[in-house]
Amino acid sequence: MRYRRADVAAGSYFFTVNLTERTRTLLVDHVDALRQIIEQIKQKHPFRIDTMVVRSDHVTTAPYRAMAQAETVPS
């Protein structure tokens, strides 16, 4: 699958990710692993998540903002 998005420095993006098997509860069962993976990705590709909702079968962020190279991640 190929996605299209604007390549704008410090742009905001809204996204939802669903499990293929919508009856599974993997995301809430393993929420600590999800947090760790997000932190690992943020080390390589700095960004900020303003809001994130984790449900049993999907994750939604609203919005996340890709950070410009000169911008730092707040603690």
| 34 within some domain | yes
- Residue (of 7, 16, 1) closest to 51 by Cα position: 16
pLDDT score for 13:
74
Does 31 map to a domain? Answer: yes
User: Tokens 């390589």 correspond to what residue?
Assistant: 44
Q: How many domains does the chain have?
A: 1
- Which tens digit of pLDDT belongs to each residue from 16-62? 889 999 899 999 999 999 999 989 988 988 778 888 899 999 999 87
> Which residues have a Cβ under 8 Å from the Cβ of 47 and sit 6 or more positions away?
64, 65, 66, 67, 73
Whether residue 41 is contained in a domain is answered as yes
Give the domain extent around 58.
Answer: 12-66
Instruction: Please indicate, yes or no, if residue 45 is contained in any of the structural domains.
Output: yes
State pTM to two decimals: 0.65
Tell me which amino acid residue 11 is. Answer: G
